[in-house]
């Protein structure tokens, strides 16, 4: 995130695209609702009538996978009306002429035809965003999980720079992280091509720094592989052993049948987790780890804020914190690791990670003592520290790119719309999109262990429009069969106007009807993220129903 969560209240207009915030990020969702209660404007771009779409000033109900067309249409109208911020563009950006030429090559009407959003609504959204004092963008995996995910994000960045809505309070481009320490995992090098702090593994200076800190020689440092690339490398015989920690790819990865085949094929599989997951069924060794309530350390949240985590419970017998398990394995393999605590690891992080240079335990403890316990998001920085924070005299950075971008000038990218990998056909006449819901969490590893949560939503539910349900003879609450080119599942029908005709939606939390058995594994060529949000499917009644069969009232789904 370029900005802080508290900045939501500084925005006059917020564009929410590809994020069901009140369900997938409910704490931040509350702040968005407060924004609306303060009389500010909200634009929601989402294929479904999510809760915030019903509250929004404007809902752009686009077809899944048409984000670039919609955003380019908005920018075309901004240029047609002369609403761009030329002072910002000329002083802080580059490659604007090439970008402008690409935008002017298509019309708002063409964007409307592709996206399904009325041209007048595209124009209204563009003017709302471009004419206010401060406009903020929130986005999530509803724009990244496509084979064009990188282009979707570049288009969002283009829109913010075109209108000068970046680098100050109440503005910015703000991705919402799906889990509580995803940002921290990425910061610490949990990506295939970087050390901690996003230092490239093939950068000689970064390699030299790590060699000195670790007392080792790092030979032939090359980029590693993403999860999906790992599965393919297992198929090719290039990877013969796999160590999975805190991940459940059987449920979370696309084309589940292929994942199952790959994990069954690998010579040696280790899974380290807090519960026995579906992926553990394929493991040769399962290593039991501690939960977050049983260990010390830090979490880095979605706004880059590093906060202390303290053990509230003793670890269960036979379990250990992740770092201790990894250190024991490293020692058995001949490494000389001698970390004595989570704090000793943080000390090394301070030394080798520029953004974390000044984020020490001493400072984090002092921040914790200042915190006001009854305030969720405070205007003062009294809870943790936001990176970059290069030294102990630095107070942290609530707003990125203030005055200048990290690369110098912001770069406009000429981004053109590309179709999703799969489109409807006679055999597969509907589109499936996936996501999360409030009650359950990710692959259900934790939330489906809770009887109370399972009582609220015990089964996999497929959202289907009333018109489609009527045409297919499907009744609300009955089991249906959903099929793609990769397999079939049997969820329960949930008849609702949240989805438009021809579109079905399903959360991916449920192992007994795993949505990702059906999804597409084609990757974005840059980010290597799979296209999880668009899959062509066929839906069938299983009760022998006939067209025109009764469906429950739409209110049943609310």
What CA–CA distances, in Å, run from 49 to 20, 44, 102, 425, 514?
10, 9, 31, 25, 23
* H/E run at residue 135: strand 135-139
> pLDDT tens for residues 498-531?
999 999 999 988 889 999 999 999 999 999 999 9
* H/E run at residue 466: helix 466-472
Asked if residue 549 has pLDDT above 80, the reply is no
Asked if residue 374 has pLDDT above 80, the reply is no
What would the mean pLDDT of 263-280 be, rounded to a whole number?
Answer: 96
Cβ-Cβ contacts under 8 Å for 38 (sequence gap 6 or more): 9
Is the CB of residue 190 less than 8 Å from the CB of residue 197?
Answer: no
Radius of gyration of the chain (CA): 24
Is the CB of residue 138 less than 8 Å from the CB of residue 16?
Answer: yes
Asked if residue 280 has pLDDT above 90, the reply is yes
Q: How confident is the model at residue 23, as a pLDDT?
A: 93
Nearest to 384, CA basis, from 437, 319, 309: 309
Q: How confident is the model at residue 135, as a pLDDT?
A: 97
C-alpha 384/C-alpha 364 separation (Å) is 6
pLDDT band at 556 (very low <50, low <70, confident <90, very high): very low
Q: How confident is the model at residue 473, as a pLDDT?
A: 93
Q: Residue 364: phi, psi to the nearest 5?
A: -65, -40
> pLDDT tens for residues 236-261?
999 999 999 999 999 999 999 999 99
DSSP E strands, 246-356: 268-273, 285-288, 297-300, 305-309
> pLDDT tens for residues 476-504?
999 999 999 999 999 999 999 999 999 99
Determine whether 79 is exposed, middle or buried from the number of CB atoms within 10 Å of its CB (0-12, 13-18, 19+).
Answer: middle
Is the CB of residue 385 less than 8 Å from the CB of residue 366?
Answer: no
Is the CB of residue 92 less than 8 Å from the CB of residue 401?
Answer: no
Asked if residue 26 has pLDDT above 50, the reply is yes
- For 100, the 3-state DSSP assignment is helix
* H/E run at residue 367: helix 361-370
pLDDT band at 221 (very low <50, low <70, confident <90, very high): confident
Nearest to 121, CA basis, from 163, 58, 79, 75: 58
C-alpha 500/C-alpha 467 separation (Å) is 9
Helices (H), 163-245: 182-187, 204-214, 227-235
CB atoms under 10 Å from CB of 118, counted, come to 12
Query: For the whole model, what pTM was predicted?
Result: 0.91
pLDDT band at 558 (very low <50, low <70, confident <90, very high): very low
User: What is the DSSP secondary-structure string of 475-541?
Assistant: PTT-BEEEEETTEEE--EEEE-TTS-TTEEEEES--TTS-GGGSS---B-TTT--B--S-EEEEEEE
Q: How confident is the model at residue 545, as a pLDDT?
A: 54
> pLDDT tens for residues 164-210?
999 999 999 999 988 889 999 999 999 999 999 999 999 999 999 99
Cα(first)–Cα(last) distance of the chain, in Å? 31
> pLDDT tens for residues 306-326?
999 999 999 999 999 999 999
Q: Percent of the chain, pLDDT > 90?
A: 85
Tokens standing for residue 178: 């799906």
> pLDDT tens for residues 327-337?
999 999 999 89
All domains of the chain, ordered by start, with CATH?
A: 5-176 (3.40.228.10), 182-386 (3.40.50.740), 430-557 (2.40.40.20)
3-state secondary structure 376-396: CCCCCCCCCEECCCCCCCCCC
pLDDT averaged over the chain?
92
C-alpha 435/C-alpha 94 separation (Å) is 36
Q: Residue 464: phi, psi to the nearest 5?
A: -140, 140
Is the CB of residue 34 less than 8 Å from the CB of residue 40?
Answer: no
What would the mean pLDDT of 96-101 be, rounded to a whole number?
Answer: 97
Q: How confident is the model at residue 380, as a pLDDT?
A: 46
Asked if residue 387 has pLDDT above 80, the reply is yes
């Amino acid at each position: 995130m370029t900005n802080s969560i508290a900045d939501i209240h500084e925005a006059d207009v917020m564009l929410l695209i590809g994020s069901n915030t009140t369900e997938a990020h409910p704490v931040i969702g509350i702040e968005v609702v407060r924004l609306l209660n303060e009389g500010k404007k909200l634009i929601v771009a989402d294929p479904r009538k999510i809760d915030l779409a019903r509250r929004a000033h404007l809902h752009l109900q686009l077809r899944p996978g048409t984000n670039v067309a919609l955003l380019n249409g908005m920018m075309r109208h901004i240029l047609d009306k002369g609403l761009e911020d030329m002072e910002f563009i000329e002083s802080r950006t580059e490659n604007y002429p090439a970008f402008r030429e690409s935008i002017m090559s298509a019309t708002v009407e063409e964007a409307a035809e592709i996206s399904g959003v009325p041209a007048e609504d595209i124009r209204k959204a563009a003017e709302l965003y471009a004419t206010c004092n401060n406009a903020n963008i929130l986005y999530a995996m509803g724009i990244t999980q496509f084979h064009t995910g990188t282009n979707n994000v570049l288009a969002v960045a283009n829109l913010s720079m075109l209108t000068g809505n970046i680098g100050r309070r109440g503005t910015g481009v703000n991705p919402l992280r799906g889990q509580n320490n995803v940002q921290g995992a990425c910061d610490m090098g949990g990506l295939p091509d970087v050390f901690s702090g996003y230092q490239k593994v093939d950068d000689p200076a970064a390699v030299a720094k790590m060699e000195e800190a670790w007392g080792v020689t790092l030979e032939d440092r090359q980029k590693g592989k993403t999860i999906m690339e790992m599965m393919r490398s297992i198929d090719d015989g290039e990877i013969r052993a796999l160590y999975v920690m805190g991940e459940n790819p059987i449920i979370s990865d696309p084309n589940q049948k292929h994942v199952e085949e790959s994990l069954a094929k690998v010579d040696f599989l280790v899974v380290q987790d807090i519960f026995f997951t579906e992926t553990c069924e394929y493991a040769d060794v399962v290593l039991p780890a501690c939960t977050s309530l049983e260990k010390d350390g830090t979490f880095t949240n979605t706004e880059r804020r590093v906060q202390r985590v303290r053990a509230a419970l003793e670890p269960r017998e036979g379990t250990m914190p992740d770092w201790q398990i990894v250190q024991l394995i490293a020692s058995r393999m001949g490494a000389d690791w001698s970390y004595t605590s989570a704090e000793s690891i943080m000390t090394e992080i301070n030394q080798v990670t520029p953004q974390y240079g000044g984020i020490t335990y001493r400072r984090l403890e002092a921040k914790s003592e200042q915190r006001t316990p009854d305030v969720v998001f405070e205007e003062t920085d009294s809870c943790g520290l936001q990176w970059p924070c290069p030294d102990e005299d630095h107070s942290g950075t609530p707003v990125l790119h203030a005055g200048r971008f990290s690369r110098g000038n912001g770069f406009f990218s000429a981004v053109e719309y590309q179709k999703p990998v799969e489109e409807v056909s006679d055999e597969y006449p509907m589109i499936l999109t996936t996501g999360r819901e409030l009650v359950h969490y990710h692959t259900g590893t934790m939330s489906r262990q809770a009887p109370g949560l399972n009582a609220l939503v015990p089964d996999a539910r497929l959202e289907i429009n009333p018109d489609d349900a009527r045409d297919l003879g499907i009744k609300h609450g009955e089991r249906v069969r959903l099929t793609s080119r990769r397999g079939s599942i049997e969820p329960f029908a949930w008849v609702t106007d949240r989805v438009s005709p021809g579109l079905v939606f399903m959360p991916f939390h449920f192992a007994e009807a795993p949505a990702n058995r059906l999804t597409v594994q084609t990757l974005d060529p840059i980010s290597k993220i799979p296209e999880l949000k668009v899959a062509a499917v066929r839906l069938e009644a299983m009760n022998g129903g006939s067209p025109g069969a009764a469906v429950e009232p739409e209110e049943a789904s609310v």
